[in-house]
Amino acid sequence: MDIALREAEIAYDRGEVPVGAVVVHRVGGGKFLFPFRAALKAAALHRKNHYNAVWAIMANRAGFAALFFKLFHPRILFILTLQEGDPIPNIMRKVGILYPFFRMIFTHARTVTAISTYLAEWAKKMGAKRVEIIPNGVDVKNFQFSIFNFQKEKFRKKLGYEERDKIIITTSRLVEKNGVGDLIAAMRYLPAHFKLLIIGSGPLLKNYQLLTTNYQLDDRVQFVGEVPHSEIPQYLWSSDIFCRPSLSEGMGNSFIEAMAAGLPVIATPVGGIPDFLKEKETGLFCRVNDPKSIADAVLLLDEQPALREAIIAGARRMVAARYDWALIAEKMRKVFSVV
């Protein structure tokens, strides 16, 4: 057996998984034990590799693990990145009596980066000393339709759509917070040539399939399931409108990807979404838990092509100027440059 291959297999058996330039060390033990096991694992790795910083992505379990490590290694810099998508009141209810320790995650971090203004304000309320807003990004060139030899009509036909069909697409994990049930319900208020394409999976899949059947929409709603991220652009290019009527959202990369792909976006004004969606400039807002409001926004885009094109152009400019991964990487490099 090739020596390099054998070493890779041994590393995998130890829970070490290389992902590009990053080595992922998998820690078992379930959700409750994760913060303790992860902190112990970090300490063991630190003895071997002598790290300069510990970085936690999301405040909950990873944050506790980083905090425990920081308390025993006070000279190590602690950086926290907030990516939370659940409503903050829900997060705080889960924290419960652990609140004093949870707050220490924020107060002990040298820098807190947040993917939206919404999460940055939360960090400040939790006592964070230094907060920077650094959103997630998108590899813009991968979503530019013009540089690919993509046959849109052929792909639409493969999906079972006719030329006159108008396709509303969502790329969403099928959980309550993403509002997919409201999007399905909105189809009742739209003409029959409007179709819904749902990319993603999750625990509510069967519920949404049943809802679709109950609304007699089986011929208009298609569940594709999970697809590789590299294939998402072709589904976006084949569609006409992107919509995700979220109940809560830390930021939402799917919106940015849809904008980069040239789709007009409909979303709710919750969480971090207002950072990038400006009404009739880079998208349209609908109301939370309001299927009729979703349908009204869809029809507005359909009936006003000039508005649609203006929104698409404005969103593309905004994404290129603020959300390209090269720009985001440079901002994170500055955060780590103090290490």
DSSP labels for 19-65?
Answer: ETTEEEE---SHHHHHHHHHHHHHHHHHHHH--SEEEEESSSHHHHH
What kind of fold does domain 140-323 have according to CATH? Rossmann fold (3.40.50)
Q: Is pLDDT of 5 > 80?
A: no
Asked whether 35 and 26 are in contact (CB, 8 A), the reply is no
Q: What's the token pair of residue 331? A: 């901002």
pLDDT reported for residue 80: 97
pLDDT of residue 339: 61
pLDDT above 70: percentage of residues in the chain: 93
CA neighbor of 248 nearest in space, from 85, 115, 114, 81: 85
Closest CA to 197 of 223, 236, 166: 223
Quickly state the pLDDT bin for 261 (edges 50, 70, 90): very high
Question: What CATH class has 3-137+327-336?
Answer: alpha beta
Q: What angle do CA 177, 85, 17 make, to 5 degrees?
A: 115
**Beta carbons of 244 and 264 less than 8 angstroms apart:** no
Digit-coded pLDDT (tens) for 105-155: 999 999 999 999 999 999 999 999 999 999 999 999 889 876 566 788 899
Over the stretch 19-64, which tens digit does the pLDDT of each residue have? Answer: 777 888 888 878 889 999 999 999 999 999 999 999 999 998 999 9
Residue 225 burial (C-beta neighbours within 10 Å; 0-12, 13-18, 19+): exposed
pLDDT at 12: 45
Where do the domains of the chain lie?
Answer: 3-137+327-336, 140-323
pLDDT value, residue 11: 45
Band (pLDDT 50/70/90 cuts) for residue 4 is: very low
pLDDT of residue 94: 92
- 50-77 per-residue burial string, b: 16 or more CB within 10 A, e: under 16: ebebbbbebbbebbbbbbbbbeebeebb
Residue 234 and residue 154: Cα distance in Å, rounded?
11
Instruction: Specify the pLDDT at position 84.
Output: 94
pLDDT tens digits, one per residue of 34-45: 999 999 999 999
Query: What is residue 8's predicted lDDT score, i.e. its pLDDT?
Result: 40
Q: What pLDDT, on the 0 to 100 scale, is given for residue 21? A: 78
- pLDDT tens track for 275-293: 999 999 999 999 999 999 9
Mean pLDDT of the chain: 92
User: Taking the model in full, what pTM does it have?
Assistant: 0.89
The CA distance from 31 to 67, in Å, is 16
Are the C-beta atoms of 277 and 283 separated by less than 8 Å?
Answer: yes
Both tokens assigned to 274: 């207002």
